[in-house]
Amino acid sequence: MSQLLAEPAADQGSIPLAARIVDTLAHRIGKDEKAARPHDWLAATILTVRDEIIDRWMASTKAAHQAGAKRVYYLSLEFLIGRLLRDAISNLGANDAVREALASLGVDLAEIEEIEPDAALGNGGLGRLAACFMESLASLDLPAYGYGIRYVNGMFRQRIDDGFQLELPENWLAHGNPWEFERRESAYFVGFGGEVTATEEGTSHWSPAEAVEAVAVDTPVVGWRGKRVNTLRLWTARAFDPIRLDRFNAGDFQGALAGQLRAETLTRVLYPNDSTPAGQELRLRQEYFFSSASIQDIVRRHVQYFGDIRTLPEKAAIQLNDTHPAVSVAELMRLLVDHHDLTFDEAWDVTRATFGYTNHTLLPEALESWPLPLFERLLPRHMQLVYAINAKLLRGARAQGVDDHAISAISLIDEGGERRVRMANLAFAGSHSVNGVAALHTELMKSTVFADLHRVFPDRINNKTNGITPRRWLQQCNPGLTSLLRETIGDAFLDDAEALTALAPHAEDAAFRDRFAAVKRENKVALAQYLKDTMRLRLDPDAMFDVQIKRIHEYKRQLLNIIETVALYDQIRSHPERDWVPRVKLFAGKAASSYHNAKLIIKLANDVAKRVNADPAIGDLLKVVFVPNYNVSLAEKIIPAANLSEQISTAGMEASGTGNMKFAINGALTIGTLDGANIEIKDRVGDDNIFIFGLTADEVEQHRAAGWDRRATIDGSAELSQAVNAIASGVFSPDDPGRYKDLMGGLYDHDWFLVAADFDGYAACQRRVDDRWRDQPAWQAAAIRNVAQVGWFSSDRTIREYARDIWGVM
Ligand SMILES: *Cc1c(COP(=O)(O)O)cnc(C)c1O
């Protein structure tokens, strides 16, 4: 491969790639060509590509060190990175070289790519954002580290069993992980519990009751064109004494290993079910574990390179991805005050200048807070520091004349009922920048959750609209469209996604529209083939592929889509003679294991699918599909094949969304509400190239405040009431007719997510979608305009804004 890259590694440049892969296979895997199975070829290919990356990795690290460059540290409890091989090969510009080398050995690159396990170290959008950001940071040649947890079993694997979600452990590390490097020299002591004593010098000393070792495991992140390789550093927990031999020898085998088990439990799974007190405590332990290890690592590096800890903000920018790492604020304060002898005020200035915080949600139930007794028991020194920070914060606010009501809203301690530590307030207070992830979301932050903090710190909140990396979400997942674009507008868009605007005039070119439509159809044929192989489904590639894939949550309103699907089904049955647009309704997504209604919505989608797909009166006019185990790799297959992108959250509830951006850049039209980044997509593609319906965020708030007649809303719509009644009465669940009674009852009772209130608008909008589809030239032109106008949603643009406005590194 090296021969094909800009700067070949000197010692390997002359050895053909195929020979290097065979050599790796022999010497690192222990197999010859004859005995090698696909997973052996995968490992040999990854290790060979990795060798290429390592030289660049070390060069990047060295260059940043020599330049004394400021580094960006991105702390996130989730990194939903997916598969890495295709990303690495593609960013190294070695697609053809690797494919041809493997072909000469009788191995199909696509086939081995497909067996690489998905690194599912995240739930959804927040974790995927962190992964896109890491890729963009490397592509923009910014020195950066991602810090997170190396979950042995990340997000659960979803199986659909008789229509119900089953959660199975994801064993992504079962056969090892050739991408990672354990760094035994980078290990830290992380303590929990115990007590704090005051020393004679007036300082504090924390003696934890227990401790684990955090060991760094590094994964290289290759930027576009292999320019730079950054590090994703994930922590794994170890016991200091893996085995207590005294206990073992006394016959207490379990007791001998208890410490190790306890340590390993820390980094076992992502988001343990927090409905039990034990689960909650584990979650807080995870957050502190990875925050502490990361902050210790950052402080150690700074002191080693630059000597004086007071210059930390000049050389390090730490971004908190949501509040999960917010305890880092208290951890840095602890290290500065207790270990580096700064005064509290000095430490506070350093801390605030170093941290930035990104908020991802306004949902009150998702705003993290910890019961004060739990926090105090686990982190007694941090509790003291939180009190001290709070005192300073509230003193300052009072000096500004803030009233009691606002004081209690600003406080780091929630005093209403059981006392709790508010992590969002801690992150806000401890950062010089607090950003939202789309324009609307940022405005709502100012007027809702952070209204009082915003009044005290009016310059702190800013907006950074999310983005996606166009390498993974266009070039790699949609090679057909990428070649067509290169032929049509040249290669500039590969380095600058905003150069896609050159495509706009081609929307008027009939020949180009046909070629564009042909690429989409090929992607649909490929997806149909995949679903035939994996689910034994037969889909018509000429039907409209209408797709809603994302975590299952009531605010995302899969239920609205399903009810409309039922209404459509009813209409098609009643009026088979009409000119219906054939549709495939495709759903995928995981529900949190403790989220009853979300799991019921999955079952409903499957029940509706079962009935509709088996109805001979419907044929290919309507098919409903729930694809199991939504993850990054599945998204990469589905999105390039989508015609219609469902982004239909209750306005004001989706902070940004990034799925919406992935679909648009792959030429799907959006049907959506004025929520999150949908609004900014609409502003760019124009009102005629997107389908907008429903209540605005303001109207949602007014509805909720003033109340409305739910029953009248449902009864007033014949289509809606028929569909709701059919579902409620068991038409789709004859085996358990009452299954959806409560779910439908909720629409009459509270309808918090305004499903019924938005139904008519949504259904009418879908008929406008049908009309446009019947006019294929108009549809294709609109799809082309979407591709042309959404390059702005590249995470390169987002990262440039963070770099300039928050981190000061550009
Ligand atoms: C992009 C992405 C998401 C986020 O999707 P939204 O529609 O923005 O909620 C979630 N999961 C995966 C696997 C993704 O790729």
* Of 204, 211, 207, 200, the residue nearest 388 (C-alpha): 204
What's the 125 CA to ligand 1 centre distance in angstroms? 4
Establish whether residue 380 lines the binding site of ligand 1, counting it when its CB lies within 6 angstroms of any ligand atom: no
Pairing of strands 316-321, 71-75: parallel
Which among 642, 471, 495 has a CA at the least distance from the CA of 84? 471
Residue 432 dihedral angles phi and psi, to the nearest 5°: -90, -15
CB 692 within 8 A of CB 672: yes
pTM of this prediction exceeds 0.85: yes
Tokens read off for 500: 């896609």
Alpha-carbon distance of 317 to 194, in angstroms, equals: 31
CB of 468 sitting under 6 A from ligand 1: no
pLDDT of residue 8 exceeding 60: no
Amino acid, res. 587: F
615 in the same domain as 581: yes
Same-domain status, 295 and 400: yes
Judge if the beta carbon of residue 632 lies within 6 A of ligand 1: yes
Q: Hey, whose CA ends up nearest to atom 6 of ligand 1? A: 659
Catalytic annotation, pick one of 83, 150, 550, 585: 550
CB of 659 shorter than 6 A to ligand 1: yes
Query: For 242-294, how does the pLDDT look when each residue is reduced to its tens digit (9 = 90+)?
Result: 888 888 899 999 998 888 898 999 999 897 665 566 778 999 999 999 999 99
Active-site hit among 86, 233, 285, 360: 360
CA-125 nearest atom, ligand 1? 4
Query: How far, in Å, from the CA of 638 to the mean position of ligand 1?
Result: 12
- Going from the Cα of 510 to the center of ligand 1, the distance in angstroms, rounded, reads 33
Find the helix or strand (DSSP H, E) in which 797 lies. Answer: helix 795-801
Pocket test of ligand 1: the residue of 552, 587, 632 to mutate, having most ligand atoms within 8 Å of its CB, is 632
Distance 683 CA to ligand 1 centre (A): 22
Note whether residue 561 is domain-resident. Answer: yes
Residue 724: which of 757, 756, 695 has the closest Cα? 756
Read off the amino acid at residue 427: A
Measure the CA–CA gap between 694 and 389, rounded to whole angstroms. 43
Strand 204-207 versus strand 195-198 pairing type: antiparallel
Residues in the chain: 810
Examine the residue annotation and report whether 658 is marked as an active-site residue of this protein. Answer: yes
Whether residue 331 is found in the same domain as residue 283: yes
Q: Which of 20, 56, 551, 603 is catalytic?
A: 551
Per-residue b or e along 575-590, where b marks 16 or more CB atoms closer than 10 Å to that residue's CB: eeeeeebbbbbbbbbb
Q: Please write the tens of the pLDDT for every residue from 145-166.
A: 999 999 999 899 999 999 999 9
The one catalytic residue among 658, 670, 673, 798: 658
Q: What is the distance between the alpha carbons of residues 630 and 637, in angstroms, rounded to a whole number?
A: 11
Distance of CA 71 from the midpoint of ligand 1 (Å): 28
Q: How far does residue 533's CA lie from ligand 1's centre (Å)?
A: 24
Report the residue among 83, 468, 551, 661 best suited for mutation to probe ligand 1: largest number of ligand atoms under 8 A from its CB. 551
Shortest-distance Cα residue to atom 3 of ligand 1: 125
Distance 608 CA to ligand 1 centre (A): 24
Ligand 1 pocket member 83 (CB < 6 A) = no
Helices (H), 140-252: 245-249
DSSP 416: S
Q: For ligand 1, say whether the CB of 127 is within 6 Å of any of its atoms.
A: no
Q: Please name the residue that has the structure tokens 């799974």.
A: 269
Q: Rounded to an integer, what distance in angstroms lies between the CA atom of residue 151 and that of residue 258?
A: 19
Which residue, by CA, sits nearest to atom 15 of ligand 1?
632
* Residue tagged active-site, from 238, 422, 662, 739: 662
C-alpha to C-alpha distance for 235 and 262, rounded to whole angstroms: 15
pLDDT above 70 (res 546)? yes
Is position 556 annotated as part of the catalytic site? yes
Provide the residue type at 507 as one letter: A
Rounded to the nearest whole angstrom, what is the distance from the C-alpha of residue 552 to the centroid of ligand 1?
Answer: 11
Q: Is residue 212 part of a domain?
A: yes
Task: Measure the CA–CA gap between 301 and 573, rounded to whole angstroms.
Answer: 68
Distance 128 CA to ligand 1 centre (A): 7
Residue 274: per-residue pLDDT = 56
The CATH number linked to 613 is 3.40.50.2000
Please say whether the beta carbons of 648 and 561 come within 8 A.
yes
Query: Cα separation of 340 and 333, whole Å?
Result: 10
In 198-273, alpha helices (H): 245-249, 253-266
Structural tokens at position 644: 């219609």
Give the separation between CA 92 and CA 109, rounded to whole angstroms.
16
Distance 155 CA to ligand 1 centre (A): 14
Cα(685) to ligand 1 centroid in Å equals: 21
- Do 180 and 298 belong to one domain? yes
pLDDT at 411 over 50: yes
Q: How far apart are CA 582 and CA 132, in angstroms?
A: 35
Place of tokens 């209690």: 408
46 and 3 in one domain? yes
Report the alpha-carbon distance of residue 632 to residue 79 in Å, rounded: 11
% helix, strand, coil for the chain, step of 5 = 55, 15, 30
Whether the per-residue pLDDT at 181 is higher than 70: the answer is yes
Both structure tokens of 274: 């927090």
Known active-site residue 662? yes
CA-nearest residue, atom 4 of ligand 1: 125
Model pLDDT for residues 79-118, shown as the tens digit of each residue: 999 999 999 999 999 999 999 999 999 999 999 999 999 9
Quick one: average pLDDT of 426-443?
A: 98
Q: Can you give the three-state secondary structure of 573-585, one letter per residue?
A: HHCCCCCCCCEEE
**Token output for 253:** 């085998």
Number of separate domains in the chain: 3
* Domain assignment present for 476: no
Rounded-to-integer distance, Cα 661 and Cα 797, Å: 13
SS3 of residue 677 by DSSP: coil
> Residue 705's CB: how many other CB atoms inside 10 A?
7
Domain, as residue range, for 34? 1-67+97-117
Provide the percentage of residues in the chain whose pLDDT is more than 70: 98
Q: Is 146 in the pocket of ligand 1 (CB under 6 A)?
A: no
Say if 339 falls within a structural domain: yes
**What whole-number percentage of the chain has pLDDT above 90?**
91
Instruction: Kindly state whether residue 795 falls inside one of the protein's structural domains.
Output: no
- Going by alpha carbons, the residue nearest to atom 11 of ligand 1 is 124
Angle at 637 between CA 18 and CA 562, to 5 degrees: 165
User: CA dist 212 to 52, 231, 339, 624, Å?
Assistant: 35, 23, 19, 49
Pick from 83, 128, 675 the residue to mutate for probing ligand 1's pocket: most ligand atoms within 8 Å of its CB.
128
SS3 681: helix
- CA–CA gap between residue 303 and residue 144 (Å, rounded): 17
List phi, psi (to 5°) of 188: -130, 155
Structure tokens at 348: 């506070």
The predicted pLDDT at position 2 comes to: 44
Residues 259 and 290 in one domain: yes
For residues 218 and 336, state if they share a domain: yes
The single residue of 71, 556, 557, 611 carrying the catalytic annotation is: 556
Contact 621, 582 (CB under 8 A): yes
Q: Whose CA is nearest to atom 8 of ligand 1?
A: 657
Q: Which helix (H) or strand (E) holds 435?
A: strand 433-436
Asked whether residue 501 is assigned to any structural domain, the reply reads no
Structure tokens that stand for 255 in this block = 């007791």
Could you identify the residue written with the tokens 């007036």? Answer: 202
Q: Please give the average per-residue pLDDT across 573-589, as a whole number.
A: 97
Question: Is residue 605's pLDDT more than 90?
Answer: yes
| Residue 304 reports pLDDT greater than 80 | yes
Count of C-beta atoms within a 10 Å radius of residue 463: 18
Residue 675 and residue 787: Cα distance in Å, rounded?
Answer: 20
Q: Is the CB of 631 under 6 A from ligand 1?
A: yes
Residue 128 in contact with ligand 1 by CB distance below 6 A: yes
Which residue of 557, 650, 658, 681 sits with most ligand 1 atoms within 8 Å of its CB, as the best mutation to test the pocket?
658
- Any catalytic annotation for residue 360? yes
Tell me: do 664 and 623 sit in the same domain: yes
Q: Are residues 216 and 351 in the same domain?
A: yes
Residue 254 CA, ligand 1 centroid: distance in Å: 41
Q: Which atom of ligand 1 is nearest to the CA of 631?
A: 13
Tell me, yes or no, whether 545 and 640 share the same domain.
yes
pLDDT higher than threshold 50 for residue 484? yes
Question: What local confidence, expressed as pLDDT, does residue 579 receive?
Answer: 96
pLDDT in tens, 319-376: 999 999 999 999 999 999 999 999 999 999 999 999 999 999 988 778 899 999 999 9
How high does pLDDT run on average in the chain? 95
Q: Whose CA is nearest to atom 5 of ligand 1?
A: 659
Mean pLDDT of 493-507: 98
Average pLDDT for residues 681-709, to the nearest whole number?
98
Does residue 478 carry a pLDDT above 70? yes
The 10s digit of each residue's pLDDT in 728-752 is 999 999 999 999 999 999 999 999 9
| pLDDT tens-digit series, residues 35-55 | 999 999 999 999 999 999 999
φ/ψ of 584, rounded to 5, equals -110, 120
Q: What angle do CA 130, 133, 134 make, to 5 degrees?
A: 90
Q: Is the CB of 550 under 6 A from ligand 1?
A: yes
Report how far residue 54's alpha carbon sits from residue 500's, in angstroms, rounded to the nearest whole number: 33
509 domain-assigned: no
Domain identity same for 154 and 263: yes
In 83-163 the beta strands, taken as DSSP E runs, fall at 119-121, 144-149, 157-161
Q: Report the residue among 270, 548, 549, 680 best suited for mutation to probe ligand 1: largest number of ligand atoms under 8 A from its CB.
A: 549
**Rg of the chain on CA atoms, in Å:** 27
pLDDT of 400 reads 94
In ligand 1, the atom with minimum distance to the C-alpha of 82 is 13
Residue 617 has pLDDT above 60, yes or no: yes
Bridge partners (DSSP) of residue 369 are: 422
Task: Determine the pLDDT at residue 120.
Answer: 83
The number of C-alpha atoms within 13 Å of 421 and in the hemisphere containing its C-beta is 28
110 and 123 inside one domain: no
By CB neighbour count within 10 A (0-12 exposed, 13-18 middle, 19+ buried), where does 550 fall? buried
* CA atoms of 607 and 566, how far apart (whole Å): 11
Tell me the helices (H) and strands (E) count for the chain, helix number first. Answer: 34, 24
pLDDT band at 227 (very low <50, low <70, confident <90, very high): confident
pLDDT given at position 12:
55
CA neighbours closer than 13 Å in the CB half-sphere of residue 273:
10
Write the residue with the smallest CA distance to atom 9 of ligand 1.
Answer: 550
Atom of ligand 1 nearest to the CA of 657: 8
User: 58 CA distance to ligand 1 centroid (A)?
Assistant: 32
Predicted pLDDT of residue 365:
79
Give residue 187's pLDDT: 95
- C-alpha distance across the termini of the chain, in Å: 32
**Is 789 within a domain?**
no
